[in-house]
Structure 1
C-alpha cells in the first residue's frame, strides 16, 4: 500500500476499520435525564480546569438509540456536569457507558467522548420509565421516573440537550507522556423534539471500582425529563491546549 493510500485511512485496523466514516444521524433518540445535587468537593476532584463549576449538579442520562446511521442501534448511560467556560454555560462529559463497540471506538478516536463498554437499558415497567446500567454482571445505576406524567415544554427540552458539551481529549505518546491533551467543545445540531415529558424521579448509584458513578453521590434529585428526538452530532473543536508551553 502506497504512502498516499495509507494517509487516506484514518482508523485502526488499517484495512478493516472499527467504525464507518460517517457523521451519525440519530432517529428517535430517547432520553431519560435525572439531574441531581451532589458533593461539591467530589465535583471539583473530577472537573478539569479551566472549566468552572457553579452549582454542584450532575445529570445522569440514559439514551436509547434504535436507529443510528453507521453504527446501528445501541443504548448509552453516563454522567454530565454543568460547567462554565469563558462565559459560556455547558456540560462536561464525565462518563459514558454503552453496548456498541463501533460507537465506542468512533467516539473516543474521532472526537473525545469518554466512552467505555457497559450494559445500559431503558424500559417501561409498571408505569415507570426505568434506566439501568450494569458493569459485567453487577448493577451500578438505577433511575426511575413516572412515565409521561406531565408534558414538558419542547423548547425547554431542546435547551436541555443542546447545550455546548466539553470533553477532555488525551492521546498518549510512546514514552507514556501525553502527545495530545486538549479540552474540546461540541454540540448537538439539527434537533427535532418529538415528545417531552417530566415527572417524579429517583436515582440509585452503587459503588464499583471500574464504574465509579457513585463517587458523585446522589444527595437530592432536582428534576427529570423524558425526551424523544431526531438529531445530529456535530464535530469537535479544541478550545484549550494543556500542553501549550509545556517543556518537550
Structure 2
C-alpha cells in the first residue's frame, strides 16, 4: 500500500481491471421503443441505430471483485458498430464513488452519483432513481413468467474523452470502447412493465419518449466483463456528445446568485 505501487501491487490491480466480475446481481429492466429520430440524434458517430429504436431502462444491485457492493441504474440505447449490435450507454448512475470512478476511467461509462432503490414482493417489482431532488426514473413490473437459467453475451458501447486543460474543447480524440459481458443468468422472469422518465438540466432523461413498452424483466445474474478500444472519434465531432454526458457546469453557478443585491 502507498502512493507509489510496487510491481506485485500493480499486477494485482491490473488483474482487477482486466477481469472485472459483478456477481450476485439483481436487475430490473423495462424495454421500450422510442422515437427513431431521437435515437439518430443522440447516438455519437461512428455508432449507428439498430434495426429497432429500443431503449432499456435498468435498476439493479451487485457485488464485485473490484468495486465492492453497489447499487445503480442506467439507460441503454440499441446501437451498432462495425456490424456488431449492442447497447450505447446513454446515462449511468452509481450510489458511491468507487464504481463511478472505475467504470468512468476504464470503460468510459458516463457515470454520476445518485440514489437508486429496488424492491420485490412476489412477482411484483418496483424501482426508482433519484438525483438532485428529481425522481429521474421509475420502473414497475408484473413478471409472472419464469424463464429459468441461461448463459448470454452482451455488448456495451462507451466513449472515453476528457476536456482540454484550458476548458476549451477536448484534450484529444475520443475513444470508442466495446465492453463485452458474459452473463450467467441464475434465474429470470418477465411480463408487463412500465417506465416513467423525468429530466433536469443535468439529466434530460425525459428527452426519450416512451412510444410503446415491450416488456419488463428481472434477473439474478453474474456479469464477467472485458473491454477494448475499437475506434477513435475526432475531438471536435464528439464535443457536443461529451458535454451532453456530463453535468452542465454553467448551471451550477452559485457565485452570481450570491452577488445579486437583496431588495
When the two structures are superposed, what TM-score results if normalisation uses the length of structure 1?
0.82
- 1:106 shift after superposition: 1.1
Aligned to 1:151: 146
Cα shift at 1:169: 1.2
Matched, 1:123 2:127: no
Question: Which residue of the other structure, out of 83, 90, 96, is the alignment partner of 1:94?
Answer: 90
Look up the match of 1:16.
none
Q: Which runs of 5+ in 2 are unaligned?
A: 8-12, 238-263
Which portions of structure 1, spanning 4 or more consecutive aligned residues, are displaced by more than 6 angstroms?
A: none
Shift in alpha-carbon separation, 1:227–1:63, aligned structure 2, 3 A: same
Q: Contact 1:119 / 1:136 at 8 angstroms: preserved in 2? A: no
Query: What residue is the counterpart of 1:230 in the other structure?
Result: 222
The 3-state SS of whatever aligns with 2:103 is helix
Shift of 1:127: 5.0
Residue equivalent to 2:81: 85
Q: Which residue of 2 aligns with 1:12?
A: none
The 3-state SS of whatever aligns with 1:106 is helix
In the TM superposition, what is the alpha-carbon distance from 1:7 to its structure 2 partner?
A: 10
- 1:80 is displaced (CA, Å) by 0.6
Equivalent of 1:242 in 233, 236, 242 = 233
Displacement of 1:69 in angstroms is 2.2
Residue 120 of structure 1: CA displacement?
Answer: 1.1
- 1:183 aligned residue (176, 180, 190): 176
Determine the structure 2 residue equivalent to 1:215: 207
Distance in 2 (CA, whole Å) between partners of 1:212 and 1:187 is 27
Aligned length: 224
Q: Say whether 1:202 aligns with 2:194.
A: yes
Distance 1:239 1:173 in 2: 22
Q: What is the RMSD computed on CA atoms of the aligned residues? A: 2.5
- TM-score after normalising by structure 2: 0.77
* Correspondences of 1:106-145 after superposition (within 5 Å): 106-125=102-121, 127-145=123-141
C-alpha deviation, 1:133, in angstroms: 0.5
Is 2:34 the partner of 1:43?
A: no
